[in-house]
Amino acid sequence: MPESTGTTARRISRPVPLRESAHNAILDMIVSGELQPGQHLVENELAVALGVSRQPVREALQWLKNDGWVDLRPGQGAFVHSPTVEEADQLLVVRGVLETESARLAAGNATAEDVEELRAICRRGLAAVEADDVPAMIAANADLHAAVTRMSGNDVLVDLVAQVDRRVSWYHGSVARRRGGRSWAEHADLVEAIAAGDPTRSAAAMRQHTELTRRSYLEHSAERGGAATAAGLRSDEAI
């Protein structure tokens, strides 16, 4: 029934809503550092820059606000969110809790193919470490965590973790490099626990992993001098 035209009947014909494109574009600008924390985002400027009207930009900004990427001061507009150390720590705590539960559930659900997928991602990650390829390390890390969460079979968890993880990645910045080797050893432990179908061990592995990551972040921001707002992140190296 869906095919009305004789064409390939794929329902891709719908152009992605402009607000979504705008959202992605602005989010990219924030994550890439093109828009710095605290910067005032003027609707009109963004609209002109993206070649659309203010309306989709407004809706994109509302969305970004709900995800914690921008602060929307009433009557004054949108500003790129400036993360504080406390907030990052709190976020890392939540991430740890959610991912630990994901790992516990994943251990009970993962199929043989799932395990193979995880192992493949681990190999990619290790290769990236040996090649000192930071972007690939970050990508593999994100893939692994996303895969584990997906295997939990809990869609609500997937949503929340995806949201939290992206912001964690933003805050993280350069931590990944320093922790590269250790991190992937921990990942391997986790994957083996999942392969063994042992929820307790899997959860413990994930808890330890996220907790060490959190400690690493705290040390990092501490040595970078007191209240290291995200402005300090960019001065180091790109994400």
Please tell me whether residue 25 binds DNA under the rule CB under 7 A: no
Beta carbon nearer to its own copies, 31 or 72: 72
Chosen from DNA, its own copies, none, partner binding at 97 (C-beta under 5 to 8 Å by type): its own copies
Whether the CB-CB separation of 33 and 238 falls below 8 Å is answered with yes
Chosen from DNA, its own copies, none, partner binding at 78 (C-beta under 5 to 8 Å by type): DNA
Chosen from DNA, its own copies, none, partner binding at 54 (C-beta under 5 to 8 Å by type): DNA
Count of CB atoms situated within 10 Å of the CB of 1: 3
Please tell me whether residue 53 binds its own copies under the rule CB under 8 A: no
Kindly tell me the sign of the dihedral angle through the C-alpha atoms of 23, 138, 178, 115. Answer: positive
* Interface positions, 61-90, toward DNA (CB under 7 A): 72, 74-78
Which residues lie below 8 Å from residue 171, measured CB to CB, with a gap of 6+? 83, 88, 91, 217, 230, 233
DSSP annotation of 33 reads: T
Which position among 1, 8, 156, 235 is part of the footprint of its own copies (CB under 8 A)? 156
DSSP annotation of 180 reads: H
Sheet-wide strand order for 70-73:
40-41, 77-80, 70-73
* Interface positions, 62-81, toward its own copies (CB under 8 A): 62-63, 66-67, 74-75
Summarize as ranges the residues that interact with its own copies (CB under 8 A): 14, 17, 19, 58-59, 62-63, 66-67, 74-75, 87, 90-91, 93-94, 97-98, 101, 154-157, 160
